[in-house]
Amino acid sequence: MKNRAVPDPRITEAFEAFGSTATDMLKSVSGLSVPLPALTELQSDYLRQASELWNKSVNFGSSNGEGAKAPIPDRRFAAPEWQSDPASSFAAQLYLLNARTLQKLADAVEGDEKPRQRLRFAVQQWVAAASPANYLATNPEALRKAVATQGESLKEGLAHLVNDLRQGHMSQTDESLFEVGRNVATTEGDVVFENELFQLLEYKPLTAKVHARPLLMVPPCINKYYILDLQPSNSLIRYAVAEGHRVFVVSWRNADASMAHMTWDDYIETGAIQAIELVQEITGAETINTLGFCVGGTILATALSVLARRGVQPAESMTLLTTFLDFENTGVLDLFVDEAMVKMRELTIGPDSPTKGGLLKGQELAGTFSSLRPNDLVWNYVVGNYLKGETPPAFDLLYWNSDSTNLPGPMYCWYLRHTYHENNLVKPGTAVVCGEAVDFGELDLPVYVYGSREDHIVPWDAAYRNLAALSGNQGRTRFVLGASGHIAGVINPPAAKKRSHWIGNGTAKAPATAQAWLEKATEHAGSWWPDWSAWLARNAGPMVAAPKRPGSRQYPPIEAAPGRYVKQKA
């Protein structure tokens, strides 16, 4: 008969106290409650699993097979030190049990949906922060390294912490290895126009002939444009240029105090609409192809809707990459938005503030997005940078991610209220922009809609809802789904031969739901870029001789790309 240890009474009491405390915490939030049968079952399961864990712990390494040396199924505890040390192994497994129990309690809570979602999010943050891997005293890897290096790792970790405090954000990569214009944002081009809101970049052709119809890219204003031009090997801008397109890109200015009054209308009229008209003037093209990424896609579609109300149709086609038009399902970001939150913003940095404006700081936005994946984007770097004294590896995408941007308060407040909170843009005639009632149904042009399957910022089924919002294009919408997330799914060059993408069955009428579309779609290996390139070429007109110089007589080059605006820090 196997020797089974009996749990120490003090341990049992601690387990029961944890269950009681966690339950009280969950029941006290916003009047939410846990049904008694679910609560009883969770407490019973918790005590049973805790007792089993204790028994395995006291038999750690014994010859009867009850030891706890099996790998712990969590990459935070994958190092050998977590398996070889009894106390560390027990701490890690007890933490994981507590985390699972808290998450099940949060899922079992009954009440209004938004408070329940906020509770689950709060539990996620607490669980992520409470990991024993995050603290020097309970992280055997960090302790071993400190001993092995005679304290040098702790010295380096402190230096990293001081540096991050000085720069105002946690380092996710070795930022000293990157410089905008030197080894990121290097595709050759020129600034051919600038105003107080953006610079217009035109890129040097890489082919002897180009399509007659140019391409204008509108990136998100909450980040810098060079996510589309990181390195030559993964640059969507360079790829489009190499495919024979005359490419223009909007480089938004990093908002400072002089822009604190700017509104959503400014970003539409003085931003996207002016950029569209400039590309037409410079190239002489009657219509142009357009692309919007994330918020840039929302801005682009809004601008084209405003122009449509004015009787102007300047776009031959529109590409939307991980873009919201319909904000009905915004995923976890919806947790942060309600009337009280929106009103608070309007009173502090929006049109109702004492100064009639202000700035939303880039670090606040960056912190919000990092909190959506706290283990990967926060605590992973706390452990590596500070506890182990390691310099994070060079990664161009994470360098871009750390290069945050400010937003004008009035512009941000309008966007927050009319999209995330009230979803007005998708309601025909409800939102008034630049004096025009927005109606996406009036956009009669081919549209390429791309969504990423694991996107936590623009859920792919929300991107699919764009098809219904663009009801006026008479079925000329192509939806493509890529693997991975919001950024990695988009920035997926063909040469990398990574991931996959799904394409619909080609029927004229798109299925009513995203899931119905996916059930009939076909998976293809590799990047979606070639599919988009073939689609874009069909809307780009004949090939003509490439221009010999950038800009035009009226709009001569101002400076070389990437320009000054993208180098401004938040």
Tokens of 301: 């579609």
* Average pLDDT value for the chain: 90
> At 471, is the pLDDT very low, low, confident or very high (cuts 50, 70, 90)?
confident
Place of tokens 């299925």: 511
Q: Tell me, what's the pLDDT at 2?
A: 43
Distance of CA 166 to the CA centre of its chain: 25
CA-based end-to-end distance of the chain: 67
Instruction: Report phi then psi at 505, rounded to 5.
Output: -85, 5
Nearest Cα neighbor of 89 from 80, 102, 99 is 80
- H/E element, 559: strand 559-560
Does the pLDDT value for residue 66 go beyond 80? no
Instruction: Report phi then psi at 496, rounded to 5.
Output: -70, -25
- H/E element, 520: helix 514-520
Asked if 59 contacts 121 with a C-beta cutoff of 8 angstroms, the reply is no
User: Is 294 a residue of the active site?
Assistant: yes
Helices (H), 224-355: 236-242, 264-266, 274-283, 295-309, 339-348
Tokens of 272: 């996207």
Q: Tell me, what's the pLDDT at 454?
A: 95
Output the CA torsion 173→177→183→185 (10° steps): 40
Asked if 245 contacts 320 with a C-beta cutoff of 8 angstroms, the reply is no
Collapsing DSSP states into helix, strand and coil, what is residue 503?
strand
> pTM higher than 0.75, yes or no?
yes
Asked if 353 contacts 409 with a C-beta cutoff of 8 angstroms, the reply is yes
Q: Which domains does the chain have, with CATH numbers?
A: 9-148 (no CATH), 189-361+410-567 (3.40.50.1820)
**Distances 482 to 272, 275, 297, 454, 491 between C-alpha atoms, Å:** 27, 29, 17, 9, 10
> At 9, is the pLDDT very low, low, confident or very high (cuts 50, 70, 90)?
low
At CA 155, angle to CA 152 and CA 158, rounded to 5?
A: 150
Distance of CA 426 to the CA centre of its chain: 22
pLDDT digits (tens, 9 = 90+) for 414-464: 999 999 999 999 999 999 999 999 999 999 999 999 999 999 999 999 999
Q: Indicate the residue type of 39.
A: L
Place of tokens 């998708």: 426
Asked if 426 contacts 324 with a C-beta cutoff of 8 angstroms, the reply is no
pLDDT digits (tens, 9 = 90+) for 117-151: 888 899 999 999 999 999 999 999 999 999 999 99
Lowest mean pLDDT among 12-26, 234-248, 321-335: 12-26
Nearest Cα neighbor of 449 from 464, 468, 459 is 464
Q: For the chain, how many helices (H) and strands (E)?
A: 21, 17
Partnered with residue 436 across adjacent β-strands are 433
Collapsing DSSP states into helix, strand and coil, what is residue 462?
helix
Asked if 441 contacts 428 with a C-beta cutoff of 8 angstroms, the reply is yes
Q: Which of the residues 221, 294, 413, 434 is marked catalytic?
A: 294
Q: Tell me, what's the pLDDT at 5?
A: 46
- Of the chain, the percentage scoring pLDDT greater than 90 comes to 74
**Distances 486 to 216, 405, 454, 455, 527 between C-alpha atoms, Å:** 21, 18, 7, 5, 14
Q: Tell me, what's the pLDDT at 12?
A: 54
**Pairing status of strand 477-482 against strand 500-503:** antiparallel
